[in-house]
Amino acid sequence: MEEKKMTHFDENGNAVMVDVSQKAVTARTALAVGSIYVNQAVMDAVRNRTVKKGDVLTVAQVAGIMGAKQTSSLIPMCHNLLILKCAVEFELHPQENKITAFCRVKTEGKTGAEMEALTGVQTALLTIYDMCKAIDKRMQISEVHLVEKTGGKSGTFRFEDREEENHEKSSDHNSQ
């Protein structure tokens, strides 16, 4: 198996930003997801819009978009992207006391939007935590991951395909 070279370090071990000047400009998208587990009081307050700090999901939606736009300021080796579209949406799962956030980012550029989508999700979830912590401090953020990315040299990635890859690797290993 070929060992991949670390791209964010030079030959002396110094941190460097990857040179993307020779890469082609392509349309790129990324979708990230994550959840926050809350108690019943938080779920009810969010659903009924009775949190004292305001409409939690509206504020978290704006915060997620702002977070995606600030990614290169937060992640040291992340390139600054021209974000063409960013959307943050939520699903409430009252039976599980879970709120799921989705962040989809679209750009045309030389590098992908995965970090922006992940930062958008995390920022939205952290905003929910901040706005609801007076009700419950035991909220847990989890399950944050890249669902899909398109464009660029590596093409399309789908998280769900990972399960199939792991199964194939396991089958290959067992047949040896």
Residues noted as catalytic? 130
Using CA atoms, how far apart are residues 115 and 74, in angstroms rounded to an integer? 10
Tell me how far apart the alpha carbons of residues 60 and 55 are, in angstroms, rounded to a whole number: 9
**Do residues 124 and 103 lie in contact, with contact meaning Cβ atoms separated by under 8 Å?**
yes
Distance CA 36, CA 66 (A): 19
The two tokens of residue 148 are 């899909």
Known binding residues for substrate: 77-79, 115-116
Structure tokens at 153: 């040299």
Neighbours of 118 (CB within 10 A): 23
Quickly count: other Cβ atoms within 10 Å of residue 145's Cβ.
12
Nearest to 134 by CA among 67, 70, 64, 39: 39
